[in-house]
Structure 1
Amino acid sequence: MTIAVLGGTGDQGLGIVVRFVKAGEDVIIGSRKAEKAEMAAIEVKEILNDDSLSNVKGLTNEDAAAAADIIILTVPILAQKPTLVSVKEYVKDKIFIDATVPLQSNIGGTPSTYFSVWEGSAAERTAALLKGSGAKVVSAFNNISSASLIKVEKEIDCDCLVSGDDKEAKKIVFELIEKIPGVKCIDAGPLEQARTVERITALLIGLNIRYKTHYGGLRITGLPEK
């Protein structure tokens, strides 16, 4: 499968790209400008210390979405709607992973404060904006820090809470994300549970600030093995 990471030039997106490229997946970095995406692809090769890598490239968001089997959205909340509108015609029947979190830092507030969107969560907003496309929207990656993702020499000590309404899509997302060393996926339930999961991001950011770190995460314990 080919993975497109829209907004893949930002911290979260770039970390996701690095992890999947290292895992051997074919990854396309998407950006509003192809040149910026191409520069990010060069940066990924530098991070992984391998200029010969052929499984990463940069394209516009639209071209990346058109070429991909699975799409991951990693843009700030203010860029969510325009990005989705620009790629909607290319997401037909594809798995669409939303990692967007509405944080007040995007609107002039603090990064540890969540703000509610009309649809209930950013992921549900994505589902509403992509309605009619057949895209299977799954919420994931919200609670894994960009610092943990980009520190590619280390396993990630964090579970990934995944919510979505399509069971088969979630199964595929689980298998993909668990290729990242150290990460275990937890089925958080239907897409509406993104309302709770997205708020955890603000909590984790606040804890990282308070404890002067960048790697705070969470583990869910006491659940039976899958």
Structure 2
Amino acid sequence: MKIAVIGGTGGQGLGIAIRFVQAKEDVIIGSRTIEKAQSAVNKIKGLLGKDNIPNLGAAENPDAAKQAEILILTVPLVAQKATLLSIKEGAAGKILMDATGPLETAIGGSPTRCLYLPEGAASERAQKILPETTVICAFNNISSGALMNFNEPIDCDCLISGDDLESKKTVAQLIEQIPGVNVVDCGPLERAQIIEKITPLLIGLNIKKTCKDAGIRITGIDPECKLY
């Protein structure tokens, strides 16, 4: 499956890209410019100690969206709308996992506080911008540090929400290729309003140094009750 990590040049995007490259999926790093995208690819090659990674490529965001089957958005809130509009054509009819955190940093505030958006959640905002795309809220509660520690399994669940069950099954199978990660379906897309608010809580715990790369596990769920 070909995956485009849209805006994939930051820590979270790089970590997601590396994890799926390791899972032998085809990955395209997308950015506003091909130069930034290629720089991210080169960084991953350096981290993995490989000069040639055939299942990893670079493209500008619109081209990355057109080439891929599944998209993952990893940009800050201030860049979300413009980035989504730039990939609207290529994203039509596809699944987009939105990891956008509606943090106060978007207006110069604290990373431990959420912004309250008129649309509800950042993922709901994405769905309104891309009505022909199936948006799934995902990757909000897995830290970039844990993702970038790519030689180790991740001790964290991935909470997802979305309105299309088959799409959630598809992304669950994909995400659970990352060692240690279990996917928990939290229900319809509107539940993203709750999922996204966990992000500043985890950031706050990390800032206080009470833990490192804080994550979350949901207990009491039958492991046999998977989406797929």
* Interval containing the TM-score (normalised by the shorter chain): over 0.9
CA distance in 1, matches of 2:186, 2:103: 21
Are 1:182 and 2:161 an aligned pair? no
Query: 1:98-177 to 2 correspondence within 5 Å?
Result: 98-131=98-131, 133=132, 135-177=133-175
CA distance in 2, matches of 1:36, 1:189: 36
Matched residue type, 1:74: T
CA distance in 2, matches of 1:188, 1:221: 13
Equivalent residue pairs, number: 224
CA distance in 1, matches of 2:51, 2:179: 23
Match of 1:11 in 2: 11
CA distance in 1, matches of 2:65, 2:187: 26
SS of residue matched to 1:164:
coil
Match of 2:67 in 1: 67
Q: State whether residues 145 and 214 of structure 1, in contact with CA within 8 Å, keep that contact through their aligned partners in structure 2.
A: no
Matched residue type, 2:58: G
Q: CA deviation at 1:213?
A: 4.5
RMSD of aligned alpha carbons: 0.9
Are 1:196 and 2:194 an aligned pair? yes
SS of residue matched to 1:171:
helix
TM-score, scaled relative to structure 1: 0.97
Cα deviation digits, residues 55-100 of structure 1 (max 9, x gap): 1111100000000000000000000000011110111210111000
CA distance in 2, matches of 1:73, 1:211: 28
CA distance in 1, matches of 2:152, 2:39: 24
Unpaired segments ≥5 residues, structure 2: none
Q: CA deviation at 1:212?
A: 5.3
Q: State whether residues 92 and 130 of structure 2, in contact with CA within 8 Å, keep that contact through their aligned partners in structure 1.
A: no
Query: 1:49-60 to 2 correspondence within 5 Å?
Result: 49-60=49-60
Q: CA deviation at 1:118?
A: 0.7
Q: CA deviation at 1:162?
A: 0.6
Match of 1:32 in 2: 32
TM-score, scaled relative to structure 2: 0.96
**1:223 aligned to 198, 203, 221, which one?**
221
Q: State whether residues 6 and 72 of structure 1, in contact with CA within 8 Å, keep that contact through their aligned partners in structure 2.
A: yes
Q: CA deviation at 1:214?
A: 3.8
Matched residue type, 1:7: G
Q: State whether residues 143 and 214 of structure 2, in contact with CA within 8 Å, keep that contact through their aligned partners in structure 1.
A: yes
Q: CA deviation at 1:52?
A: 2.0
How much identity, in percent, do the aligned residues show? 54
SS of residue matched to 1:117:
coil
Structure 1 runs (4+) greater than 3 angstroms displaced = none
Q: CA deviation at 1:215?
A: 1.1
CA distance in 2, matches of 1:214, 1:223: 25
Decide which moves more: 216-225 or 192-201: 216-225
SS of residue matched to 1:223:
coil
